[in-house]
Amino acid sequence: MSQISLTFPDGTARDYPIGVTAAEVAESIAPSLAKRAISASLDGRHIDLAWPITASGTISIHTIKDAVPALDLIRHDFAHVMARAVQEIWPEVKVTIGPVRDQGWFYDFDRTEPFTPEDLGRIEAKMKEIIAARDSVRTEVWDRDRAIAHYKAANEPFKLELIDRIPEGEDLRMYWHGDWQDLCRGPHLQNTGQLPADAFKLTHIAGAYWLGDATRPMLQRIYGVAFRNRDDLKAHLTMLEEAAKRDHRKLGREMDLFHMQEEAPGQIFWHPNGWNIYTTLQDYMRRRQRADGYVEVNTPQVVSRKLWEASGHWENYQDNMFIVEVDEDHARQKTVNALKPMNCPCHVQIFNHGLKSYRDLPLRMAEFGSCNRYEPSGALHGIMRVRGFTQDDAHIFCTEDQIEPETRKFIEFLAAIYADLGFTDWRIKLSTRPEKRIGSDESWDRAEAALGNACKAAGHDYELFPGEGAFYGPKLEFVLRDAIGRDWQCGTLQVDPNLPERLDAEYVGADGGKHRPIMLHRAVLGSFERFIGILIENNAGKLPFWLAPRQVVVASIVSDADAYVADVVDTLRAAGIRAEADIRNEKINYKVREHSVAKVPAILAIGMKEVEDRTVSLRRLDQQGSRPLPLVEAIAMLKDEATPPDLR
């Protein structure tokens, strides 16, 4: 019998008959490992314990203690068990797909009657019955004709369409959880009893078009979350409760920051308070960029399709672009333009205007570029996911030798900004060459090494994501972790030799010849709109004093103090502090409570004693009691707090 060699994580190797399963490999190591095994990885590919292994390679056996593969299996199996539970309760329901996502999974169903929140409880109870039954999970590979015949007989039209989308020659793998069957790539657990029955919860129901296509049927999507144990689930649900309290949409209403309405889907109406945050943050970024050697530009909103064709966006990104047709000079022949979805092709046009020398490089070109991208209405989410947004966008035109020092400089720049904004917990992801790519292996080697070396030189580790880079170059992604443990991908740096080539950018080198620059696409905040939403939620609305939209409210206790209140407000404003008066005929406790809900960081209460002594009574947000201070001292202290961190 033919043999294969399997190498284990400790470097040892053993020979096995061809076709051995990972379950049999685990048994050969130790019966106790076989009992605890849930899956395996073969040459980095996650596989089922029951799949035959037909070639030599490197193998790892996974148990429930291996968080990443364990959670992937648990959530994938829960999706199948939920679908089985739904069809056992409502046999007429048609199933579609149920991928793993974020902290759990979703599954889309075709059902005439809408699911209700009460139905989630019924489904959960049925899922627990299935788990308790410890039904075996088995798998087979079928040929296409057999699979099609099976789903026609079962009247599952969505599965038939999925089969049509699977390339010819690719395996059609079937899984059974007990008697319930689904088309799935796997892998899966060995029986339903391996699922932690006390570590999952169905969270909500939403509508979703089949395959995300608005012209296709509207389905019902059920979401769930799952973890390895009850404590992890409890921690997650607590986080969700806290996230609901911090929801930027709720706080946006309470703080009177912005609103959105159906006449402008995916667009934001900024109120004065919200625009204060926006402009303060933008002014801060503008000063930071100037100090770091950037030149600021501004490019058109509406650009001819010719440029988008030349850049490649028309072919690859047109579905996300807003098309603008203009009847030029009433010639009855429409010119096709598009609202710009990104700034990079326009920046190349500025680079191309006039001759550039190697002495001009690196050229750091920044723009607070307003962009518009089509997002499906179901994907819109407050100011976090919109159709109109502004980026802190910049492009660094440099030589290949300058990639590493420019990347290091950018990482240090980004780190300082994140620290100023209260984010010290963040990580870097390095995405390397995909299978389909342009450029030589040598150029990829140099670019990937430059990014990795720059991270280390800046004092930061990185996670490697093989194959996740763009087709033209590797990239860095900067992922923030907020106050309640959620991750947000914000900053990016992308190496791009492709766009300068497509748009004919060049500079004169030291040798007198013409050369293509490398283009580094970079952003720190990304979308201002999204980042402000993140800031609001991270701080639960209690923004740092310098960013707070309403920094001080001066509130009268008695009407006889109104004149002094006005004087204090004028003095605060003259010192550069955002201050306003509250002289309404309301009790001071009512005023304090109202302004606290609106997250005003400082309230100065003024009664007759304060008028006589020319003092104020300072009350901080979320602090009990107040502190009497001379007016001059209070203004000096608040002025210092109102100073942005880069100006201190």
CATH code of 421's domain: 3.30.930.10
CA 196/CA 227 separation, integer angstroms? 8
Indicate the DSSP class of residue 511. T
State the residue for tokens 């292996």: 441
List, for residues 420-476, the tens digit of each pLDDT value: 999 999 999 999 999 888 888 999 999 999 999 999 999 999 999 999 998 889 999
Would you state the pLDDT for residue 259?
97
Name the band, by pLDDT with cuts 50, 70 and 90, for residue 330: low
Using 50, 70 and 90 to split pLDDT, how confident is the model at 137?
A: very high
- What is the CATH classification number for the domain harbouring 98? 3.30.980.10
Is 254 a domain residue?
no
Helix (H) / strand (E) containing 24: helix 22-29
How many whole angstroms separate alpha carbon 462 and alpha carbon 149? 49
Q: Which amino acid is at 587?
A: K
Give exposure, 287-300, as e/b (b: 16+ Cβ within 10 Å). ebbeebebeebebe
* Residues 362 and 394: beta-carbon distance below 8 Å: no
Amino acid 327: pLDDT: 76
Residue 15 catalytic? no
Q: Are the C-beta atoms of residues 526 and 563 closer than 8 Å to each other?
A: no
- Based on the domain organization, do 553 and 441 belong to the same domain? no
CATH of the domain at 572: 3.40.50.800
Q: Does position 306 have pLDDT exceeding 80, yes or no?
A: yes
Would the annotation count 184 as a binding residue?
A: no
- Arithmetic mean of pLDDT over the chain: 93
395 is catalytic: yes
Total tally of structural domains belonging to the chain: 4
Within a 10 A sphere around the Cβ of 554, how many other Cβ atoms?
A: 25
DSSP tag of 87: H
- pLDDT > 70 in the chain, percent: 99
Active site residue 373: yes
What lies within 8 Å, CB to CB, of 241 at 6+ separation is none
| Whether residue 178 is found in the same domain as residue 127 | yes
The verdict on 206 and 335 lying in the same domain is no
Confidence (pLDDT) at 275? 97
User: Does residue 430 sit within a domain?
Assistant: yes
From 173, 188, 387, 475, active-site residue:
475
In the three-class reduction of DSSP (H, G, I as helix; E, B as strand; rest coil), residue 407 is classed as helix
Same domain for 459 and 527, yes or no, is: yes
Q: Residue 47: which H helix or E strand, with range?
A: strand 45-47
Q: Is 385 annotated as catalytic? A: no
pLDDT at position 379: 84
Same domain, 534 and 570: no
- What is the β-pairing status of strands 388-398 and 363-372? antiparallel
The reported pLDDT for the residue numbered 299 is 96
Predicted pLDDT of residue 176: 93
User: Within this chain, do residues 139 and 201 fall inside the same structural domain, yes or no?
Assistant: yes
Instruction: Write down the pLDDT at residue 237.
Output: 93
> Which residues make beta-bridge pairs with 225?
104, 201
**Nearest-angstrom CA–CA distance, 603 and 586:** 15
* Nearest of 70, 105, 35, 101 to residue 228 by alpha carbon: 70
Q: How far apart are CA 30 and CA 24, in angstroms?
A: 10
**Whether residue 344 lies in the annotated active site:** yes
Domain boundary among 63, 82, 98: 63
- Whether the Cβ atoms of residue 141 and residue 166 lie closer than 8 Å to each other: no
Same domain, 212 and 272: no
Mean pLDDT of 223-251: 95
Q: Is residue 249 part of a domain?
A: no
Domain limits at 8? 3-63
C-alpha 567 chain-centroid distance: 46
CB atoms within 10 A of CB 632: 11
Instruction: Indicate the range of 435-444, 547-556, 590-599, 631-640 predicted with least confidence.
Output: 435-444
* Mean pLDDT to the nearest integer, 349-353: 96
User: Residue 43 — left, alpha, or beta (φ > 0 → left; ψ -120 to 50 → alpha)?
Assistant: left
Residue 332: pLDDT over 70? no
Residue 647 lies in a domain: no
Residue 246 CA to residue 233 CA, distance in Å, equals 20
Catalytic residue selected from 249, 373, 385, 481: 373
167-181, 322-336, 389-403, 602-616: which has the minimum mean pLDDT?
A: 322-336
- Which of these three, 539, 569, 587, is where a domain ends? 539
> For residue range 48-97, what is the model confidence (pLDDT) as tens digits?
999 999 999 999 999 988 999 999 999 999 999 999 999 999 999 999 99
> How many beta carbons lie within 10 A of that of residue 327, not counting itself?
10
Give the strand pairing for 487-496 and 507-508.
unpaired
Q: Average pLDDT for residues 189-207, to the nearest whole number?
A: 94
Question: In this structure, are 176 and 319 located in the same domain?
Answer: no
- Strand 57-63 and strand 3-7: pairing? parallel
DSSP 3-state of 178 = coil
| Phi-psi group of 214: left, alpha or beta (phi > 0 → left; psi -120 to 50 → alpha; rest → beta) | alpha
Helices (H), 421-470: 441-457
**Residue 478 in domain:** yes
Asked whether residue 266 falls in the same domain as residue 131, the answer is no
The verdict on residue 446 lying in a domain is yes
pLDDT score recorded for residue 211: 84
Q: Is there a contact between 524 and 421 (Cβ–Cβ < 8 Å)?
A: no
Look at residue 505 and tell me whether its pLDDT is greater than 80: yes
Residue 251 lies in a domain: no
Same domain, 105 and 237: yes
Q: What angle do CA 58, 62, 68 make, to 5 degrees?
A: 105
Under DSSP, is residue 190 helix (H, G, I), strand (E, B) or coil?
coil
Residues 270 and 406 in one domain: yes
Residue 12 and residue 113: Cα distance in Å, rounded? Answer: 57
Supply the pLDDT for residue 44. Answer: 87
pLDDT at 334: 81
Structure tokens at 474: 């590797």
User: Can you give the CATH number for the domain in which 52 is found?
Assistant: 3.10.20.30
Q: Is 344 annotated among the ligand-binding residues?
A: yes
Separation CA 553–CA 19 (nearest Å): 75
Per-residue confidence at 624, pLDDT binned at 50, 70, 90?
Answer: confident
Instruction: State whether 361 and 415 are in the same domain.
Output: yes
Separation CA 308–CA 117 (nearest Å): 46
Give the DSSP letter string of 538-605.
HTTT---TTT-SS-EEEEESSGGGHHHHHHHHHHHHHTT--EEEE--SS-HHHHHHHHHHTT-SEEEE
Residue 314 in domain: yes
Looking up tokens 């283009």 gives: 519
Out of 475, 507, 539, pick the residue that ends a domain: 539
**pLDDT for res 170:** 81
Distance CA 274, CA 254 (A): 11
Residue 231 CB-density burial (10 A; 0-12 exposed, 13-18 middle, 19+ buried): exposed
DSSP string, 373-397: ----GGG-BTTTB-SEEEEEEEEEE
Residue 20, pLDDT above cutoff 80:
yes
pLDDT value, residue 1: 53
Can you say how many angstroms the Cα of residue 543 is from the centroid of all Cα atoms in its chain?
21
Active-site residue among 184, 344, 398, 455? 344
Burial (0-12, 13-18, 19+ Cβ within 10 Å), 593: exposed
- Do the annotations mark residue 330 as ligand-binding? no
| Contact in structure between 523 and 530 (CB atoms under 8 Å) | no
Question: Which whole number is the average pLDDT over 526-540?
Answer: 96
